Amino acid sequence: MTIDDLQRSNSDSKHQVSFNPIEPGREFTRSSDPAKGYKYHDRSGLILFLGILSLFMCGPLGVAAWIMAGADLRKIRRGSLPSDKVGILKTGRVLGIIGTGIFFAVIVSGAAVLQKQFGELPGFLGYTPLAADQAAFAGEWFGKKGTVIRIYSEGKGDFRTARANITGGRVNIKGESLSIRMLGFSKTWHIDAGPHIENGNWSMQLDGETFVRKAEGHLII
């Protein structure tokens, strides 16, 4: 090999480019940085808009903003989306939560007003009076574990426990169960022993808790 051939070989090697073909099933990305490697659909503005609308009695839109923002924030934590819209997404989610809360609070308040105004009407808006064989359930009952239940003859009821309470609910006594319901919220007890006189006092047992009925302004024990 002559000197000219050697120089020509070195010159050609400088212009050689190595090329590794993309393996089947793999996608080509320009960068490992998700913010630069591909285009994505930015929903932050839409989520913020839905959150704002939810404050004006559009509760379902608040639920949508809440869910969508949560999904996008999870993608950001995984590195699937850029983090430059985190503030907007969090704001939209908070507004959605507030709007949803306002929506349901107004519904509950409105239903309570309707029940108070039309309490004498049976059916959906009012109460169903207790049947003749259920009259003994009417009264204010105090449980040995701290539960308080008030049952009215018109079918209205209240209860208070350490964890929950309902005021102005509908009483439903059927078979061996007693429940007080209001707009999807309810508490149901199994009637272990119905109202009966025991040692001169009216008593009953629900879910293993003994209740004593208050009468004439004082508790009979």
pLDDT tens profile 155-178 = 999 999 888 888 888 999 999 999
Q: What is the DSSP letter of 55?
A: T
Q: CATH for 132-219?
A: 2.40.128
Q: Comparing C-alpha atoms, which of 159, 160, 151, 158 is closest to residue 129?
A: 151
User: Which pLDDT band holds residue 12 (cuts at 50, 70, 90)?
Assistant: low
Domain residue limits, the chain? 40-117, 132-219
CA nearest 115: which of 103, 105, 104, 128? Answer: 128
Q: What is the mean pLDDT of the chain?
A: 78
For the segment 88-133, what is each residue's pLDDT rounded down to a tens digit?
989 999 999 999 999 888 888 877 666 555 544 444 446 789 999 9
CB-based contact 83:74 (threshold 8 Å): no
Between CA 191 and CA 208 the distance in angstroms is 9
Q: What is the pTM of this model?
A: 0.44
